[in-house]
Chain A
Amino acid sequence: MNKMLELKNLHKTYYTKHSNVEYEALKGISFDALEGDFVAIMGESGSGKTTTLNIIASLDTSTSGEVIIAGSDISKMGNKEICRFRREKLGFVFQDFNLLNYFTVKDNIAFPLVLLNRSKQEIDERVNDLAEKIGITKLLNKYPYEISGGEKQRTAVARALVCKPTLVLADEPTGALDSKNSDQLMELFKTFNDLGQTIIMVTHSLKSASKAKKVLFLKDGVIGTTLEKNGRSDEEFEEEIAGLLYNARK
């Protein structure tokens, strides 16, 4: 399978604004994700997982290292090129949904397509198709403040997938959801991953991570352990992840 994502020796150092204090958030992260992969990144707060995701998403820049997505090195791209790349190749799902309140659910999903200047007919076809697959057809004319958290996150997933992105990035997608909605969302991720969608997800949740094919554990800015699912059931994989975390804390 083709490599969809390559991180090569990624470093990120933050400097405080008014003093010379520096903080190294990433200390040389390297990993690959293949086409159709579903990678979960786990780690304690401050381990660098969200920073890694933000750099992959081109929302932040690395101090050094390379980020290659589908053969393109985004660390060498200019601002406008990055924006174009982001809207065409990447899909995002955030913990707090990041839906725009003045848009309907339909318009929120359609937004990336409008940015790509797609025709109204194409927008309708793709939004309706996705809404049906995700089960939010009835919500299309509602506004975000009229729907539940789970429905909001499903809308966010639809928005992330509407452009048929090369890579979907999810930052704690179940963080604001109850267990039932979390399960439903992860099932949705799994379904799209089974259809070939590559997903990189940052999560604290064992259960969510167990749905992934691979779990990376970050600690103090470096990748500690990597677990592969290798055809095991979700429950078995969850146990292994739990065991690893338990041993790490001892």
Chain B
Amino acid sequence: MKQTFWAKIAFKNIIENKKFHLANLIVSIFTIMSFYIFTFTATNKGLADVRGYTGLKFILMVGCVFLALISFVFKAYTNRLLIKRRNKELGLYAAWGLEPKHVNSILFFEALYMYLAYAVIGIGIGVLLQKYVYRVMFTLMHCDIRYAGDFSFNNIFISLGVFAVIDLCILFKNMISVSKKKIIALLKDETAVEPVKKLRASDILKAVIGVALIICAYIYVNRVDDFVNSLRTLVFAVALLFLGSFLAISSFVVMIELALKKQDKLYYRNTFFTTLAKLVTRTRNNALSLAVINILFTCVIVGSSSTIALYLGTERQASVAFKTDGEISLIDENRIPEVEEAIRSSAADTGLSVEGIWIAKRYAFPTAFNEKTGEFSNEYITGRNLPDIIEMMTVETFNKNEGTNYTLKEGEVLFISDEECPVNGLEGVNIYGNRFKVAQIAEGPIFTDIDNIQYAYKFHVIVDNDETLARVREDLLSQGNTREFRFSVTYNVAGSKDEELRFDERLNDKLMHIESIDYVDSNATQRQTRYARNSVFLFLGTFISLIFIMYMIFIMYYKQIEEALDDVGNVKIMKKIGMYSAEIKKCIFAENGILFFLPVVMAFCHVAACFALMKDVMKLFMLTDMDFIRLCVVLFCVGILVVYMLMYYGAYKVYSGIVLKEDSSV
């Protein structure tokens, strides 16, 4: 038979099963549209003018790869749901005498139609929206909009190519699995699900493993100090969390439900009776989908609330970067006057006044501090994967910069501990064999608290004079520590944010001509680069979260239809026996409610348990205001919960609409 015949059948199949295909189509349209917009934004020439362009492009490219990967995973998963329902239909084709190549032709044309539909619509919408999305992103970045080009064929081809590969992989998988199955197996695939009778020993074991895995994942994420270097193991922790959630739902939750079922006084009550009896089986059958929704929900909360907190907290991050407006670090002490002059002349050029310039000689290096013994060494401290930082300076420098009036005798130090690592009652410190008596413990942060480097804790040791500082350095040099003294020139200028940015650009130009500059940074630079980077994070986070939410809706919608169709017979029986429609609706509301909100409650637990990790990630981006982060997370949780409740109500309506469709006659 001609291919056009199979093409027609495939088209009819899609139209007749539009209830299932429509949701898939909508999600796919949004996914390819997002992918196209990501690639368009990453490759747009206008982005090249933004400070930190290379980093931003890299983040966007990583976003594209991530999006392609999650698209593959979710498309494969949702395909699994769809193809499972179609096994009987495919079995019938085979029973009617269609050869595997004919069935494959039907599957191919169906996949082709769906691909063409979502790719054309998705990229079309992407092309129409790209300009506006780009503008929104640049507005968020606090940058001038430099929009280049209407669309790029390259990006369209890349988007088409990536999704064609994903769809082809899924199509081949379907073809192989259908051809491998015997006709009878395909025809039998839709048999009724056996209810869960009682828990077996293996179920109890699974329940214990599930809960244990979740606890392990919680403990692990709370022990991660070095987030960047622990990414691979964190992915493993997420996998553990997923597996644990799946086992916990399929066994532990079922165990609880069965225990409730045994409570006669509770179970033999009108609504509880059918609700609990059905719930046990539905929970077990939906465990995988619920675990997927649970992880998606967790990812949406963590991803979105983090990116929102990062963006809304940009000013906070910029303001904690330096205690002063800017800092220049140099190695050669003799160059300090030139730097001071550059600051003053840049201020004059841009019409600003210099409020103050401070100079400090500092000796800083990574270390490990044992707060119990007061010892600085290179020994590993349990539970602390990132190094600590020690910074030493003289009491004269400290007083001058802090406006204090400390005095120290020989052999004494002033110890300033990290805010998060209190050292009450510390009498002495031992810096690689150099012992000092702690004259006083002060609290940080101080003027040199630079937070744009990764560390666990930061400690300041203030010594009596230059000789002591030089002696310690000599000793450490003999022990192999080649770190040199640094001279930091910090300054404050009076002006608006825009004026400070102009001053900053001017100063950077002048400093280019001065040798021995170690690094230059300022709050103005930090603010601009952070706005750019955080906007890109917010952009990616929003799109990816929306895709996650859409997949969540899709899975739920699909499951609701599937289960409602399976439940039509049961509801008919209930009605025949004399159950009111209102009672049936009440049962559906309760059952679906428990199933819907189970993954959400678990997701909230995951988020609460992972908050310490979120806090550490935020700290990497210099967002240290914990109350602010907490507020962002809580507000986002409330917002997403409201959206989820609406989704639940919609799903409940779909479900009750299907099962009570023929209610009019009863």
Q: What residues of chain A have their CB less than 8 Å away from a CB belonging to chain B?
A: 57, 59-61, 79-80, 83-84, 86-88, 90, 92, 94, 98-103, 107, 110-112, 114-115, 117, 120, 123, 143, 145, 159
Contacts and interface: CB of A to CB of B under 8 A. Distances in A.
B281 interface: yes
Given A59-B665, A120-B268, A112 B192 contact: no
B577 A103 contact: no
Contacts of B281: 102
B192 A83 contact: no
Given A102-B280, A143-B197, A86 B578 contact: yes
A63 to B, nearest CB: 13
B201 interface: no
Given A61-B665, A112-B578, A114-B269, 11 more contacts: A57-B576, A79-B580, A79-B581, A86-B578, A92-B576, A101-B192, A101-B195, A107-B273, A115-B270, A115-B579, A145-B194
Closest 7 CB pairs of A and B: A87-B578, A86-B578, A102-B195, A98-B573, A114-B273, A102-B277, A83-B580
Contacts of A159: 577
Contacts of A59: 576, 665-666
B351 to A, nearest CB: 79
Contacts of B274: 100
A100 B574 CA distance: 8
Nearest to B583: A115
B273 A111 contact: yes
B270 A117 contact: yes
Nearest to B192: A101
A100 B577 CA distance: 11
B379 interface: no
B435 to A, nearest CB: 74
Given A59-B666, A102-B281, A115 B577 contact: yes
A111 B277 CA distance: 11
B232 interface: no
Contact of A94 (B278, B574, B576): B576
Contact of B264 (A88, A102, A115, A120): A120
A57 B666 CA distance: 10
Contacts of A90: 578
Nearest to A144: B195
Interface of B is mostly: helix
A94 B576 CA distance: 10
Interface residues of B, number: 28
B572 to A, nearest CB: 8
B407 interface: no
A203 B621 CA distance: 78
Given A59-B665, A60-B665, A114 B278 contact: no
B372 interface: no
B409 interface: no
B230 interface: no
B2 interface: no
Contacts of A99: 573
A143 B270 contact: no
18 contacts: A57-B576, A59-B666, A79-B580, A83-B579, A84-B578, A90-B578, A99-B573, A102-B570, A103-B277, A107-B273, A107-B277, A112-B577, A112-B578, A115-B270, A115-B577, A115-B583, A117-B270, A145-B192
Interface in B560-583: 570, 572-574, 576-581, 583
B92 to A, nearest CB: 23
Nearest to A89: B578
Which of A59, A60, A83, A86 has the most chain B CB atoms closer than 10 A to its own CB? A83
Nearest to A60: B665
Nearest to A88: B578
B265 interface: yes
Interface in B374-415: none
A120 B577 CA distance: 19
A110 B277 CA distance: 13
Contacts of B572: 98
A69 to B, nearest CB: 14
Contacts of B280: 102
B265 A120 contact: yes
Contacts of B581: 79
B282 to A, nearest CB: 9
Contacts of B195: 101-102, 143
Interface in B607-666: 665-666
A168 to B, nearest CB: 13
Contact of A87 (B197, B264, B570, B577): B577
Interface in B267-287: 268-270, 273-274, 277-278, 280-281
A70 to B, nearest CB: 16
A207 to B, nearest CB: 26
A111 B577 contact: yes
Contacts of B665: 59-61
